[in-house]
Amino acid sequence: MTPIELSTRYGIPRRVHFIGGNGDLPVALITTPHATAEISLYGAHVLRYQPTGENDLLWMSSQSLFEVGKPIRGGVPVCFPWFGPHPTDPAKPMHGFARLRMWDVVETSVAADQAVRIHLGLQDDTETMSLWPHPFRAEMIISVGAKLTVTFKCTNTGDKPLEYGAALHSYFAVEDIERISIRGLRGGKFYDGPNAPTVTEQVDELLWIRKEENRRYIGTTAECTIEDPVAERTLHVGKRGSRVTVVWNPWEQTSKNLPDVPDDGYKTMVCVEAVNAYDDLVRLDPNMSAELEAIISSV
C-alpha cells in the first residue's frame, strides 16, 4: 500500500497519518496530547518517541541505513526469532529477520486516555521458512501516550512446538555517556560480554558506563532507570515477559567498526533491552502465544 492508501484506510484525523520516510520506507506519524512518535512499517520499528515539551527519548544514528535488506540503527528494533548471531549459521541475519521485513498494518485506534495504538502484523512465508522453518504470526502493538509501550507477540500457528529468542533492542538518547548512571540492577548476575564463560554479580547500586559494555543480566524482571543529569531527566525502562536485560554501549573502537554509527555515536546513546535469549528462550506449543513488552517514559 502507498502512504496515501494507508492514510485513507488506517489514518485517524489529527492522530495518525502515513508518509514515505527515509528511503521511501512507509512511516506512521502519530500525534497525541502527550507525545509524538514515528513508526516505520519496515521492521515494525519505533524511530522516534518525543513527549510533549521534551527532546526525543530514543537515539537514532545519523548514519543509519534506510534500505530494504539492511537494519535501521537506533530507536526500538525488534529482534526475532533469534537474538544476536544465529546459533548455528552465522550467514543468517544478525538478530533474525523480523527487523528486515515489511509489516502489515492491522488496525489503529485511540484509547480513552488519548493514547494512540498501532497494531502491526507479520506472518511466515517462503522466505521466512527458508531461514526458520516454523509457521508463526507475529504482532507489534505500539501505544503512544504519556508512556511508550511496545508489545511483541508471537503465536505458534503450526502443529509442532517451536522455540525462539526475541528482544526489544531499545536505544536511548543521553547527553553524555560518561555522566549517566543506570539504576535497578544491583544484585543482578550478568555475563560481561557475549562470550563470557562466568557470571559476575553487580555489587554497586549504580552502573556507570566507562568502556564498551555488553552485559547480559539474567533472572531479572526489574525496571531500570537511566539518570541523565545533563539533560535533567530520568528515563524509566520497564518490561514484561522477559527475564534477561542487556545493557550495551559500543564505545569508541566498536563505533568506528560499525558503518552505520558515527565514530562518536557512543557518546550520546545507551541500550537497555528487554530480552528473551540465552536461558530465557520462549517455547510455544501449537496455538499458544507469548508476549514481550517494554514500557518507556521520562520524568
76 in Cβ contact with 168 (< 8 Å): yes
Task: Select which of 38, 139, 273, 293 is catalytic.
Answer: 273
Can you read off the three cell numbers belonging to residue 27? 512511516
Residue among 196, 290, 188 at smallest CA distance from 242: 290
Give the separation between CA 295 and CA 218, rounded to whole angstroms. 19
Q: Is 273 labeled as catalytic in the residue annotation?
A: yes
Q: Which residue has the cell 538478530?
A: 95
Q: Is 34 labeled as catalytic in the residue annotation?
A: no
Can you read off the three cell numbers belonging to residue 33? 496530547
Can you read off the three cell numbers belonging to residue 60? 537514532
Helix boundaries (H) for the chain: 3-10, 126-131, 251-257
Give the separation between CA 115 and CA 7, rounded to whole angstroms. 18
Task: Select which of 17, 38, 169, 213 is catalytic.
Answer: 169
- List the catalytic residues: 169, 273
